[in-house]
């Protein structure tokens, strides 16, 4: 099945299976329990209608049910003050509560119930009266006030998004890579078909002898780490006297349709470590990976240690999963049938569209990243505001089919990486326990992509001295939290335990950014101070072009 908005087949099939499972769950629910649910539901509906009939046209009075705190869909006064719209909203919320209750009573194992819960919520969110022109008072008011111009503008926005194959979430004309995002000064010093390596210019007279290599996720562009000077992790690291090298992954097209996971590990992370060390003339390199970039980097480091290579001095992992036993909401898209279908269609060659992956991430927070833009862009005819983070979020990256299918099966489906020597990469059995250098493992409390307890399990897999830190907020905001903002907090030094909750319950909370904590942890692994390099590259790896380079500018087609 194809969609102009690149809705993945897994999502469509998930909705279909959820409807079937919910029907079965209703049939399987104990009669007395189902009768109680129905009685409660009709009692509330009766109260709702009696309130309306007793005072037709008047404000709804005391609500039978209210939106959850922070639910912005029903923020407008008309949802409370107009009896008709109050009825619509409350009836919708009662129906949603009934479906939620049926899901919780379903006799399913934990994984299947999680999947049913997720896709039922997707249906509930989609059916909100706020998402339809005829049942949204603000949409109708805007149409009247603009004499129908909002309707015309909304149709124009919809047609443009249909051509682009995605729901716009920001004004993309306000940003340009290299002009007002990804602006830290640097030079591309190496490139192959898979990535460019950027060496950033020093901002101090002296630098640490050992450089920092950053491996970002290949499912997003690297410049989340370098959005603006005031929130750039790259700039922060350079200001601390580190020579920073960063991998800028290519945005694969048909020519890279045969690329494998091994290529990302060997021709990607391992090659980047080799080049960074050669240019800096250091004995060792400090390495940092984020999300799937951390999974790739950990695999590379484990391979190097198996080969007797001690070139990595320390490992930092930001919101990274190495144990996929609890992958969170992303796990609802993964089962044997789904993976086998991907292996059959693109596993031997082809490209997985970044726009499909982008849609999946939007559905994880549909009421923040999907439906508000449907309402504002199409129903009200507005142009989304300019926001650098959302510009990055919309800058999708494709993935090679063989790499993606292998990743789904061996990580998400079979969780093979956590078992020593079960996987062989680049001709070498992989045992994460061989990672015996100091490791800094950061998770974030509200992460909807890498649940923090899953990231915590890394401490049980890698060897060496491991420091676990838990940041406040989510997958992005919890990582991109510059000290100057003086926002959020982080937890450290919890009690050693096999249970992550025990660790958190005993951990120390510190206000502010984890960045300063990390740099203090890293300094012992940085080596002596040396004069800052006067130019990028060396005789072997000569400058190619200025940062941010060509690869990051390629858009997903």
Active site residues: 291
The angle at the Cα of 163, spanning 159 to 168, to the nearest 5 degrees, equals 75
Q: Give DSSP secondary structure letters for 40-91.
A: HHHHHHHHHHHHHHHSTTS---S-SS-PPTT-GGG-STHHHHSHHHHHHHHH
Query: CA nearest 219: which of 292, 158, 275, 150?
Result: 292
Query: CA nearest 356: which of 553, 554, 165, 552?
Result: 165
Query: CA nearest 339: which of 326, 329, 352?
Result: 352
Peptide bond into 548 cis (omega under 30): yes
The angle at the Cα of 225, spanning 219 to 227, to the nearest 5 degrees, equals 105
Burial 10-33 (b: 16+ CB within 10 A, else e): bbebbbebbeebbeebeeebeeee
Greatest Cα pair distance, the chain, in angstroms, is 86
Q: % helix / strand / coil in the chain, to the nearest 5?
A: 50, 15, 40
Neighbours of 255 (CB within 10 A): 11
Burial 143-164 (b: 16+ CB within 10 A, else e): beeeeeebbebbeebbeebeee
Output the CA–CA distances (angstroms, integers) from residue 222 to 166, 290, 516, in the order listed.
21, 10, 21
């Amino acid at each position: 099945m194809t969609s102009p908005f690149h809705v993945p087949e897994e999502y469509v099939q998930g909705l279909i299976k959820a409807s079937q499972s919910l029907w079965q769950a209703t049939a399987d629910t104990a009669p007395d329990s189902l009768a109680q649910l129905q009685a409660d539901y009709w009692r509330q509906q009766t109260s709702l209608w009696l309130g309306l009939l007793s005072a037709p046209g008047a404000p709804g009075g005391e609500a039978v049910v209210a939106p959850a705190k922070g639910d912005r869909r029903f923020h407008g006064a008309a949802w409370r003050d107009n009896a008709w719209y109050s009825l619509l909203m409350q009836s919708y919320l009662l129906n949603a509560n009934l479906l939620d209750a049926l899901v919780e009573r379903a006799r399913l194992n934990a994984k299947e119930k999680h999947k049913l819960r997720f896709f039922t919520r997707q249906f509930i969110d989609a059916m909100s009266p706020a998402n339809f022109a005829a049942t949204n008072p603000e949409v109708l008011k805007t149409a009247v006030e603009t004499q129908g111009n909002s309707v015309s503008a909304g149709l124009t926005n919809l047609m443009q998004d249909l051509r682009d194959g995605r729901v716009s979430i920001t004004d993309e004309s306000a940003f340009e890579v290299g002009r007002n995002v990804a602006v830290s000064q640097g030079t591309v010093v190496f490139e192959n078909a898979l990535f460019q390596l950027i060496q950033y210019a020093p901002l101090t007279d002296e630098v640490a002898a050992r450089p920092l290599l950053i491996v970002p996720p290949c499912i997003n562009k690297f410049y989340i780490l370098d959005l603006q000077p005031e929130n750039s992790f790259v700039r922060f690291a350079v200001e601390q006297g580190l020579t920073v090298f960063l991998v800028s992954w290519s945005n694969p097209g048909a020519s890279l349709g045969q690329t494998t996971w091994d290529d990302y590990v060997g021709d990607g992370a391992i090659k980047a470590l080799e080049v960074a060390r050669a240019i800096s003339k250091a004995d060792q390199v400090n390495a940092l990976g984020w999300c799937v970039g951390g999974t790739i980097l950990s695999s590379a480091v484990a391979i190097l240690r198996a080969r007797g290579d001690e070139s990595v001095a320390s490992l930092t992992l930001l919101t990274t999963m190495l144990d996929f036993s609890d992958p969170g909401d992303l796990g609802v898209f993964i089962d044997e049938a789904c993976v086998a279908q991907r292996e059959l269609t693109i596993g031997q060659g082809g490209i997985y569209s970044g726009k499909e992956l982008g849609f999946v991430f939007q559905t994880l927070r549909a009421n923040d990243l999907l439906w508000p833009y449907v309402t504002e862009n199409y129903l009200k005819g507005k142009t989304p505001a300019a926001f650098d983070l959302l510009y990055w979020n919309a800058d999708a990256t494709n993935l090679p089919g063989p790499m993606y299918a292998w990743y789904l099966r061996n990580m998400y489906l079979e969780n093979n990486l956590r078992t020593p020597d079960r996987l062989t990469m680049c001709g070498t059995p992989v045992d994460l326990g061989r990672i015996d250098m100091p490791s800094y493992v950061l998770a974030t409390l509200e992460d909807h992509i890498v649940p923090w307890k899953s990231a915590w399990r890394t401490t049980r897999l890698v060897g060496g001295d491991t420091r676990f830190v838990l940041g406040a907020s989510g997958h992005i905001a919890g990582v991109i939290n510059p000290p100057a903002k003086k926002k959020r907090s982080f937890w450290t030094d919890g009690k050693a335990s096999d249970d992550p909750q025990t660790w958190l319950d005993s951990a120390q909370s510190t206000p502010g950014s984890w960045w300063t904590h990390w740099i203090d942890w890293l300094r012992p692994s940085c080596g002596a101070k040396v004069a800052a390099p006067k130019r990028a590259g060396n005789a072997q790896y000569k400058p190619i072009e200025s940062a941010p380079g060509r690869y990051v500018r390629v858009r997903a087609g």
